[in-house]
């Protein structure tokens, strides 16, 4: 199992870490050819290093396009290395992951609880002005023409608010965003996501957080769209990522289809639509 600590050429998974001056592992990123292999590799690494999973926080996970890369190395992850360096950490790895014939990899990204508290406390200090700033609308923020990270849990259509020439990317691979931000451009990039944590180490001048609708707001929007009163009680247990305007439209479409094709009454169709929307039997 200690083989996982030996730098070498690899075909299934690679571990990238950020260590401080004392050698403590503050950052971990695993790339693997599958989710299962990524989990196994992470477990092996924790065991071999004598680390405790409870000391780390998962900040990002998911599949990413390889984008034609031949391999994943500390050199290919130079943007990550630069971001870690600003935090006083050095990027190391247990080798090179060759990507021949691999179009997608699965990744887990974790940070130590200490580093997470440090990052969030620094951001809180940066975002706590001595005076109350004036309210600013999302369209006003986007009109500034700067690279912007938007955590859009509200589900508003950003494309309608962008200045001319801006590039909108929805849930893009982190590596692609890092490459775009590093290039000289004459247009702004707007990254839309439901999980801003995936991009926490990238240097966006503007981060815009659009919170989800409340159950009352969600019900009111759906009522207006369906033409009959919908109670907020349907949505009290809804996860935040589903309390957005796009999902309001999705449920409204589903209700209409159930009424039309199954002959259900409006209330019966609504109850079934909510269950189907949540993936409940």
Question: Residue 252 belongs to what H/E stretch?
Answer: helix 245-262
Flag whether 130 is in a domain: no
149 close to 202: Cβ distance less than 8 angstroms: yes
Residue 108 and residue 16 in one domain: yes
pLDDT for 128: 53
Structural domain that includes position 249: 215-278
pLDDT of 1: 45
Pairing of strands 95-98, 8-10: parallel
Would you say residue 28 lies in a domain? yes
> Does 90 lie in the same domain as 66?
yes
- Do 100 and 171 belong to one domain? no
In this predicted model, what pLDDT tens digit does every residue of 16-49 receive, in sequence order?
A: 999 999 999 999 999 999 999 999 999 999 999 9
Last residue of a domain, one of 162, 190, 210: 210
201 has a pLDDT exceeding 90: no
127 lies in some domain: no
Same-domain check for residues 257 and 177: no
Q: Are 12 and 35 in contact (CB under 8 A)?
A: no
- Please give the mean pLDDT across all residues of the chain: 88
Same domain, 204 and 258: no
Q: How do residues 203-248 score in pLDDT, each as one tens digit?
A: 898 889 898 999 999 999 999 999 999 999 999 888 888 999 999 9
- Sequence-ordered alpha helix ranges (H) in 60-162: 78-86, 113-126, 138-142
Position 2 confidence tier, pLDDT thresholds 50, 70, 90 = low
In a shared domain, residues 198 and 234: no
- Overall number of domains in the chain: 3
Q: What residues pair up with 56 in beta bridges, in sequence order?
A: 112
The residues near 231 (Cβ < 8 Å, ≥ 6 apart) are 219
> Do 255 and 181 have their domain in common?
no
């Amino acid at each position: 199992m200690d083989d996982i600590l030996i730098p070498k050429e690899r075909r299934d998974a690679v571990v990238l870490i950020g260590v401080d001056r004392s050698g403590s592992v503050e950052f971990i990123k695993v790339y693997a050819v599958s989710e299962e292999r990524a989990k196994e590799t992470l477990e092996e690494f924790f065991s071999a290093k004598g680390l405790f999973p409870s000391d780390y926080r998962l900040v990002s996970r998911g599949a990413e396009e390889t984008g034609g890369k031949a391999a994943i190395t500390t050199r290919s992850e130079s943007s990550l290395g630069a971001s870690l360096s600003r935090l006083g950490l050095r990027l190391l790895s247990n080798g090179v992951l060759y990507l021949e014939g691999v179009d997608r990899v699965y990744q887990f990204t974790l940070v130590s609880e200490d580093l997470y508290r440090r990052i969030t406390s620094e951001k809180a200090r940066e975002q706590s002005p001595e005076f109350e700033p004036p309210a600013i609308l999302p369209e006003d923020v986007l009109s500034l023409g700067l690279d912007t990270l938007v955590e859009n849990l509200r589900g508003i259509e950003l494309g309608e608010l962008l200045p001319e020439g801006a590039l909108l990317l929805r849930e893009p691979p982190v590596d692609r965003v890092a490459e775009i931000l590093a290039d000289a451009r004459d247009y702004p990039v707007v990254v839309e996501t439901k999980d801003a944590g995936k991009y926490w180490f990238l240097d966006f001048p503007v981060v815009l957080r659009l919170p989800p609708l409340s159950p009352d707001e969600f019900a009111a929007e759906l009522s207006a769209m369906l033409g009959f009163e919908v109670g907020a009680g349907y949505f009290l247990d809804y996860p935040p990522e589903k309390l957005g305007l796009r999902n309001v439209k999705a449920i409204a479409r589903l209700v209409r289809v159930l009424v039309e094709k199954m002959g259900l009454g409006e209330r019966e169709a609504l109850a079934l639509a909510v269950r189907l929307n949540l993936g409940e039997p």
